[in-house]
Structure 1
């Protein structure tokens, strides 16, 4: 396949893509940031709890 033909086909395929609107992109980005923040807070809290519990067990010895 010639490079010129390949690039023409790529352009045709890109035009077929149903791109999200700006509002959809912003909404989905905020959802991802929100979910990531919640998961990070949960994991941070669990880490803090486990560390505190392990510190108490270690200090008992």
Structure 2
């Protein structure tokens, strides 16, 4: 693959509630239903960069 970053054109992003009532959006931790948010400074390296803008808008 010539460009191994940002190649996915489809995203399924689980949404849940944190214990303090905040919203969490991201990806499931390995073998669990715990949602982990991607590092905001890096984002998701395989998803389209626009996905972060979309999840930020939904979350707000």
Q: Which has the higher strand share?
A: 2
Tell me whether the two structures share a fold, i.e. TM-score over 0.5. no
Give the TM-score normalised by the residue count of structure 2: 0.23
Q: Which has the higher helix share?
A: 1
Give the TM-score normalised by the residue count of structure 1: 0.23
Bigger Rg, structure 1 or 2: 1
